Chains A and B, each alone.
Chain A
Amino acid sequence: DAGVTQSPTHLIKTRGQQVTLRCSPKSGHDTVSWYQQALGQGPQFIFQYYEEEERQRGNFPDRFSGHQFPNYSSELNVNALLLGDSALYLCASSLVEGQEQFFGPGTRLTVL
């Protein structure tokens, strides 16, 4: 049983570009959350999707948007990239009433 998978593993972009990151949840999970982790910091919550709707949102600008598909997989889109968007982006899946969130290995985004 595959856990949470994310693609790509690494990505390099330049300022002003747009990026799409992808996440496949653990089998049977219906809820996907996205987190941003800057170097040396704890993960920061971006948003959570359930039933293809954004259920909760953290303190991130509208440049950060997402989508959840009928098969529960999810995408994170970031527009107009800034240098400060360089980070490890983590996807976590869970059951809507589950006890824990299972994290993927993350996508390392570097903005030059």
Chain B
Amino acid sequence: LAKTTQPISMYSYEGQEVNITCSHNNIATNDYITWYQQFPSQGPRFIIQGYKTKVTNEVASLFIPADRKSSTLSLPRVSLSDTAVYYCLVGVHTGKLIFGQGTTLQVKP
């Protein structure tokens, strides 16, 4: 499965938009891009999934360029409760998920 690279940590302030970029140069044709969020001592929670172009739901947007070698998770108007670890994964979504170290996002007041 494709390896992903994302920043180890980021910080933002309440009310700002946060963009977390993930690199996946070896993504396969049938791979999807999925983002999960994890709070301490809890299981990861699905945020959004996409294959190409742009996907938006009530929580976030996912931007995927035409070459699909990267993707950007966009969180609009973050709050303190968005402080968490965010994981970018690529692969066939029904199979095993390969998590990297994720991006620790800290939202400050």
Task: For A33, give the chain B residue with the smallest CB separation.
Answer: B96
B residues adjacent to A (C-beta < 8 A): 34, 41-46, 49, 87, 93-102
Is the Cβ of A100 less than 8 Å from the Cβ of B44? no
**A104–B87 CB distance below 8 A:** no
Most buried by B among A4, A42, A91: A42
CB distance from A33 to the nearest CB of B (A): 7
Tell me the complex Cα distance, A103–B100, Å: 17
Docked CA distance A33–B42 (Å): 16
Which residues of the other chain, A, contact B42 by a CB distance below 8 angstroms?
103, 105-106
Partner of B44, one of A31, A41, A43, A96: A43
The 8 A CB mask of A43-66 against B (1 = contact, 0 = none) is 111001000000010100000000
Q: Are A100 and B95 in contact (CB under 8 A)?
A: no
Q: How far is the CB of A104 from chain B (nearest CB, A)?
A: 5
Smallest CB-CB A-B distances: 3 pairs: A103-B43, A42-B99, A100-B46
A100 touches B43 (CB 8 A): no
B87 touches A97 (CB 8 A): no
- CB of B86, distance to nearest CB on chain A (Å): 11
- On whether A45 and B93 interact (CB within 8 A), knowing A100-B49, A106-B42, the answer reads no
